[in-house]
Amino acid sequence: MAEEIKKKKVVSAADAKTVTKAADETKKAAKKVEDATEEAAGTVTGKKKTEEAKPVGNAKGLRIGAVCLWVAAIAFELVAVFTLFGKINITFMNTMTFLIILIVLDLICLVIGSQLWKKANHIDPASKKNKTKFWLWNNMGLIVAIFAFVPLIILLLTNKNLDKKTQTIAVVAACAALLIGGAASIDYNPVSAEEKQVAEANITGKVTWTQYGKVYHIYIDEDTWCQHLNNSDTVKVGTVEEAIAAGKTRLCKTCAHNHNLEGIEDLPLGGSGPD
Ligand SMILES: [Zn+2]
């Protein structure tokens, strides 16, 4: 009998332990739900429109396209230069109109070419190990912009054949084109081959981004969104490679923090530090 009681005691002690454990677990679960609710309150209040990312293009094809457009831009500049030197006689319109049309065509070809080049750099980035190539690859658009307008501006300024009004308007137009073309040709979010490699190796799941956003976010499912995505945003969902190709070169810092991926967004590679 005594033994039975002892046994019962042991059993009830064990029961008590189980109950405590269960209570602990319930508390933990409740905390989790609470956390999730808190997170949800700050993040999701509605369904987002999601879109599949466009397939990543062919870097080589884009570079060829860029170079062809840049050559066309320089060709329009050369036509303007020949016109200034009187090698081309314009009979169907006045010289000022002709020069402005050439400057605009020059600008259009430059800007489209630079966009193709930037896209190619995001699909097939240069390595930071070769600093000269890395710099050249990322600044090529700006260099072409200088070549596409600076010689023309100098010749316009020094030209003696043009009347004052035509000269002034052409110089202003060419300077404006240089500024617009230069600004549009700069890659404000360059990426290196090393950064792309590390991101792709560490983020194997899907990521999400918006059209005008600069970063990409970790994508879990349709109900879990990063707090930095607005409800009105149509978000694209795809791979890291597709995000980078779309010009979103870095992982959002909040996402990096929440998913233990800190350091991905600002790699110390190449010794240039975070930027
Ligand atoms: Zn995020």
Report pLDDT digits (tens) over 46-80. Answer: 577 888 888 888 999 999 999 999 999 999 999 99
pLDDT at residue 191 is higher than 80: yes
Banded pLDDT at 87 (limits 50, 70, 90): confident
Average confidence (pLDDT) over 173-185 = 98
Banded pLDDT at 16 (limits 50, 70, 90): low
pLDDT at residue 200 is higher than 70: yes
Kindly list the distances between the CA atom of residue 122 and the CA atoms of 40, 242, 247, in Å, as whole numbers in the listed order: 33, 9, 7
47 CA → ligand 1 middle, Å: 17
122 CA → ligand 1 middle, Å: 20
- Mean of the per-residue pLDDT values for the chain? 83
Q: What is the pLDDT of residue 38?
A: 46
Cβ neighbour number for residue 235 with a 10 Å cutoff: 20
Banded pLDDT at 221 (limits 50, 70, 90): confident
34 CA → ligand 1 middle, Å: 21
> pLDDT of 106-153, one tens digit each?
999 999 999 999 999 999 999 999 999 999 999 999 999 999 999 999
pLDDT at residue 253 is higher than 60: yes
How many whole angstroms separate alpha carbon 220 and alpha carbon 232? 19
Q: What is the pLDDT of residue 273?
A: 38
pLDDT at residue 190 is higher than 60: yes
Whose CA is closest to 195, among 262, 259, 266?
266
41 versus 159: the higher-pLDDT residue is 159
212 CA → ligand 1 middle, Å: 14
Q: What is the pLDDT of residue 31?
A: 54
pLDDT at residue 36 is higher than 80: no
Q: What is the pLDDT of residue 129?
A: 93
128 CA → ligand 1 middle, Å: 26
Q: Which residues pair with 217 in a beta bridge?
A: 208
Q: What is the pLDDT of residue 212?
A: 87
148 CA → ligand 1 middle, Å: 39
Q: What is the pLDDT of residue 30?
A: 56
189 CA → ligand 1 middle, Å: 17
Alpha carbon 193 to its chain's center: 14
| Ligand 1 ion: nearby residues, β-carbon < 5 Å | 217, 226, 228, 252, 254-255
Banded pLDDT at 90 (limits 50, 70, 90): confident
41 CA → ligand 1 middle, Å: 16
pTM for the whole structure: 0.74
Banded pLDDT at 274 (limits 50, 70, 90): very low
Q: What phi-psi label fits residue 263: left (phi over 0), alpha (psi between -120 and 50 degrees) or beta? A: left
Q: What is the pLDDT of residue 104?
A: 98
228 CA → ligand 1 middle, Å: 6
Burial class (CB in 10 A: 0-12, 13-18, 19+), 101: middle
